[in-house]
Structure 1
C-alpha cells in the first residue's frame, strides 16, 4: 500500500480521521515519565481513536486492513488461524472479512493471555509454544488453513540484537506451523523487525510460496521497528519438485 493511503474499512465504515486537539497528560505522582509519554501517545493517536469509534479492539486492526488492502489475502469463506491474537483486533478483522458470523469460512485465534471471545471465531487461551497448541489449533480449524496470521512477539528487552533474535524465533515457529496446515495457494502474514526475515527462513518461504514480500503498513508507528512478511501462493511440498 502507498504510504499515504489508509483503509477505511471497519464496522462503522470509518477510518483514522482528524487528529483533533492534542491532549496533554500531567505527570502523576508515582507514574514513570515513560508511562506518561505512552499514555499521551495513546490519547493522541488517530488510530487509537478510530479503533474505539469503529469497534475494533485495538489499533492493530488497521495494520491488517492496510496490508490486506494492498495484498488482498482476506476474502469471504477463508479458513484462518490468528496467532498472538489478544486482544482480538486481527481476529475481528478476519471474522468480518470472511463472513464467519454468517457461517462462511472459519477463524481460530490463540494467545497466551486471557482474552475475550470474538463472535464468529474460536478463541483459545494457551501458549503457542505448548506442545499441545498445534493440535488444539488443528482440531478447532477442522481442515487445512487458507491463511495463517502471526502478530506474535516476545517481550522486548531494550537490547536490539536480543529482541531481534526473540521475534525471529517466534516467526520461525509460526512458519513451521503454517507449513503444516496451509492449503495449496494459501498465505502467511507474520511480524518481523526492521532488516526483514533471516536469510535461511526467507529462503524457506521463497521455496514454499510463489511471492514473498516485506511491508510496513501506515498504521505501524514510525518509531516502531516492526514490519511484516507476506508470503502468498503456498505450494504443498509435493508441488515444489523441480521448481
Structure 2
C-alpha cells in the first residue's frame, strides 16, 4: 500500500475530511503545538481536516477559528468557528481579530498552497508569498509566546522566509511530516515563541533597576517589558547589553 493510499484510507475510516489532517497531527507530535484550552487560527482551512484535529486537541475549553475564501461545511465541534473571506483584505483580518479577542491566539497554522501551474519556480514563489501572508496575520493576532506553522515549497526563497521568521520568534525549525506525499517538495516551518519585545539581542541601552527578582537579579522595565540584570540593585541606573530575549522578558549584562 502506498503512503498516499494509507493516509487517504485512514482519513475515510477515522472521519477526517482530508488526508492532510495527519500532517497536523504529526506536526503537533513533533513540535508540541496544540494544548487543551488553546485558541487556534487555521488559515486556508477548507475543507476542514486541520480544524477537526485542532478541535480535538484544544477540547471544550478551547477555540478554533478557520478562515478560507471557500465555504467550509459546518463541523460537529462546538469550539469551531469559521469565517469566509480573503486574508489579503483588511476587512477579513479585522473580523478575525475580533473573533480571536484581545488576548490573542496561541497558535496560527496555515496549510495554504497556490494553484499549481506545473512550473516549479512559479509555484515555489507563490507558496512563499502565501507563507508570508500567514506570517503577517500571525503578527496581527498571536499572543506573546504563540506559535506559527506555515507550509512552503522548498527552493531559493525559503531561507529568506525562515530568516524573517527567526527575527520574530524564539526559534524556527523545518519539519516534513511522514504524511506528505513522496512527490511533494512541501516543507513546514514551525516557529515557536512569538516575540513582542521592544528590544532585541545585542541592543545596548541604559536602564534603571526598579525591583528585584526571586533569584536576586535586578529588574528593569523597558516600555513595560521586563529585563533581568544580574548584580544590580534597586535604584541603579546602568548601561546594559541585551543577551537573550524571551516572549515576556529578556536577560541583559552590564556593558
Establish whether TM, by shorter chain, passes 0.5: yes
Match of 2:121 in 1: 161
Match of 2:74 in 1: 117
Deviation readout 1:152-188 (Å, 9 max, x if unpaired): 1120111111111111111111101111211111100
Alignment of 1:41-80 (within 5 A): 45-80=5-40
1:170 aligns with 2:130: yes
Match of 1:209 in 2: 169
Tell me how far apart the structure 2 counterparts of residues 180 and 237 of structure 1 sit (CA, whole Å).
14
Alignment of 1:17-166 (within 5 A): 19=1, 45-99=5-59, 102=60, 104-118=61-75, 119=77, 120-143=79-102, 144-166=104-126
Any runs of at least 4 consecutive aligned residues in structure 1 with deviations exceeding 6 A, and if so which? none
Tell me how far apart the structure 2 counterparts of residues 240 and 93 of structure 1 sit (CA, whole Å).
35
| Unmatched segments (≥5 aa) in structure 1 | 1-18, 20-40
Match of 1:9 in 2: none
Match of 1:13 in 2: none
Task: Provide the alpha-carbon RMSD of the alignment.
Answer: 1.8
Higher relative contact order (CA 8 A, sep 6+): 1
Q: Cα offset for 1:239?
A: 5.2
1:218 aligns with 2:175: no
Calculate the TM-score normalised by the size of structure 1. Answer: 0.77
Tell me how far apart the structure 2 counterparts of residues 203 and 131 of structure 1 sit (CA, whole Å).
26
Tell me how far apart the structure 2 counterparts of residues 134 and 240 of structure 1 sit (CA, whole Å).
27
Bigger Cα displacement from structure 2, 157-166 vs 195-204? 195-204
Larger radius of gyration: 2
Calculate the TM-score normalised by the size of structure 2. Answer: 0.74
Alignment of 1:189-200 (within 5 A): 189-195=149-155, 198-200=158-160
Does structure 2 conserve the Cα–Cα contact (< 8 Å) formed by 1:210 and 1:233?
Answer: yes
